Structure 1
């Protein structure tokens, strides 16, 4: 059981046997050169060949984190060589936590736009989610004492160098193997760089309230929302000290969990609102899934007014869906109310008037 030591002699040897994904030199370099497919690069073919050789060496030697320094004071193993990129992400999260705890600072609200649609790429038109986000942002921004940040996940599809890589499910091997913040990326040997999550984690940490606005995609949250959700797993029980597991040593992580894992809830006590909109089906299920997820990572609900599932232009033409939103004054008012309900709850929470129910009770099943 999480949080308790296991007295039996459990097998901590990681299970293996899946086919290797490793590439040979020719296949690796062929894939690398596809980064330079544009004929404009042809004049630099020799230079690209030299870069491909450097990249191959990094890949063959598995140089995931090529620049490191000693972990230093405060870590389980001060001499362990930690990625300087992870240290920077760790420091940013700690600074965000200090902002969160600063009673003199404004109340911070994070609003997440979950739609990948924008006029800046193939769809050629802004999303309804973004319009709803703007309604919510303006409603809260007009209140004194509040700071509002918008996380626009549509930039994953429209902005150069914006990526959220998939979760590798380290937590399923052992809780201690999932580092907070995530240390799986960047992985320079695999070319897995420009991951956005190290910028996103501090936004969640500093926030006192989080509002998610998303469309339904095939009965599910949007792709950007799901990518972010999966990578937030480290915020819920993740290990803040990679030196404890000597990086990604799965056997050490299993031993650490079985010795009694404390399962830290890094985002506990923040408040949330969810707005889900669709055109035909699935909005209620997605709203429930998102609210259940947020509750499971110990964010607190505000109440029914802050959790909406609605249809805009129900079974109407997609081509006129923005007109349907223009005409739907009720949903516009509901979204503003959801935002204001979140802001009210945040103000009360920070004043000590909105307690977390059951905060003093011990959870017999922390995981």
Structure 2
């Protein structure tokens, strides 16, 4: 008779600044998470406690101080290569019934919890990590852009971003304007305002890698009372741009266990088709073809129709959703990746997307789920 193996340790994976390791202790599957930052560990433990009574979350069995950091031992949910996450339902050629059912359950849970817990909240008492802290002095906006200048797209449009406001932008045939310094200043001002914001109990960072399949929520350091428009902007922008295009492009190591995400990048990365400057009219012409896979379009549409719209009708009847979402979306575009560190083509497309988001004509319902179409004639 063979005795049960006491301990089995799987491969260590890096998740942002943390380390994850699957282990089996006497046949019990656990996921160990190691973090060096004590404040982040406290936020994770507290966030898990806040969320656990409202959302399906893996059990946190224990947490320990260890040399150099903290170790958290979670229940390990079922998974495997290209299995176990919402991401895997999006990494397919066509939408599936499983994806439709998943989005139904996801939006129903969010709708119930948000409408039950939402209330006007002092910005000092919301989770600030993803928006407010990044706009504060010394935050990401400063770290990325303060006192710095860079070209709009090296070798394509060699105009400094500091001078972008002196040009007319023609993006896919439509006229836009983007003043770089004014945009940064207005974002900082928005996130220093003291007016209450509508906040509700959420996980805060609802990405396709933080949502397990079967439905459960993972990663809790931003869990708590989060801005509702910020929650919406986060899921929509991640599903429409970050998750299928930018994150697998610039952080491919995050998809070691989900390699299908890397093969799906061409289906989700916009295609730059025109980039030139008309010096006679001070006009920058940008043409790009948006691309978003059919499963991601289905996920965005379900989230918008089944969650954003019904919640907005209850919390902000008659208000313009574009105005509510705009500053949060701009922060997701500017304060996740430093635009200066991206390829010229990707930087140019993101600046174009930023200009479109800041436009008075910004329509979130079509912005996040564009249909592929040829660029209009110049």
TM-score normalised to structure 1 length: 0.28
TM-score normalised to structure 2 length: 0.28
Select the structure of larger CA radius of gyration: 1
